[in-house]
Copies of this chain bind each other. A is one copy, B any other.
Amino acid sequence: MANRSRVTIREVAERVGVHPSTVSRVLNPATRGRITPEIAEKVTKAANDLGYTPNQAARGLRTNRTRTIGVLIPDITNPLFPPIIRGIEDALGESGYTAIIGNTDNLAVRETEAVSTMRARQIDGLVLATARRDDPLVSQCVADGLPLVLVNRTADADGVSSIVNDDALGIALAVSHLKDLGHTKIAHIAGPLELSTGEARQRSFLEALQKEGLSPADCPVAETNAFSEDEGLRTAAELFAEGLSFTAIVAANDLIALGAYEAIADIGLRCPEDISVTGFNDMPFVDRLSPPLTTIRIPHYELGREAARRLVELIETPDSSARATTLRPELIVRGSTASPDR
């Protein structure tokens, strides 16, 4: 029926016997009020009958607004990101926007590349899940006046909106949980410090120690180069090799925790009997590991929704100002944490 050649506003106009501009005004909610209800009625009916849908390319050309936004993520294959994307797309859909996604594999070149192809497509704004603390791309977008929201990770630059997890709370929950179990010597395996998440979680860990009255001398901190299982394994192994006597590990994320699992097994210890481990993120299936991972659940979906909502707000009310929002995480206690032996 409806062939690929679409029905235009002109055909609707001819059908009703009015000028195309009248049809346009009827179909635009903002101007519908200016048209006689009777005519508006006829126009909407004709538009429905003919199956009219506006040509977004034409509209975008004229208005310079495509209702399309770009989303940059490191890798959709990382289970962290799909819920964020889903949240973004759901929220965008409600406002008539659409997302195009770019995977950057954490490579700066691919980031700038992706942004320029997105700009060629006249995106109205950008959601970045790839921000580094010091990120030229962020400053560039801000300088160009491109509406921008950071999600998951934030950047040090100010004047930019961001929706991130409350990492301080998350880490405090983990440390407090371990202390309640009786742990006093707790190690932290930190993420990369050039990422806001890595830095914030490490800083929060130190703050939490203080708040809980634990001695930093008993609580070593090691840093990884990436939020990966390999790095978690390598770094945990290093901690053990130093002969430290901690009884628990607060990992900066779940993958690092997985690496820690391996390191613990490698030296013949058991989790949680000998060493407790906490993760961060609550990725899918970490409840199926052995032992099931005690971790911090981040509201990823809500992070995405909120980011999209904020971006639409930035686009549609240009005077709205940048602000940083944090969402509250939740401690999920499973089998990887227990009281230390003595």
Contacts and interface: CB of A to CB of B under 8 A. Distances in A.
Given A103-B89, A143-B1, A53 B288 contact: no
Interface stretch (A54-62, A152-160, A173-181, A323-331): A54-62
A102 B99 CA distance: 9
A166 B57 CA distance: 39
A86 interface: yes
A93 to B, nearest CB: 8
B61 A122 contact: no
Given A4-B145, A98-B121, A100-B98, A86 B76 contact: yes
A136 interface: no
Contact of A77 (B60, B82, B119, B122): B82
Contacts of A284: 79, 284-285
Nearest to A53: B120
B100 A99 contact: yes
Interface string A45-78: 0000000011111101100001010000001110
Contacts of A66: 57
Contact of A98 (B57, B117, B145): B117
A122 B60 CA distance: 12
Contacts of A102: 89
Nearest to A117: B98
A226 interface: no
Contacts of A290: 290
A265 to B, nearest CB: 12
A333 interface: no
Contacts of A77: 82-83, 86
9 contacts: A4-B145, A55-B122, A82-B82, A85-B101, A100-B100, A101-B101, A284-B285, A285-B288, A289-B289
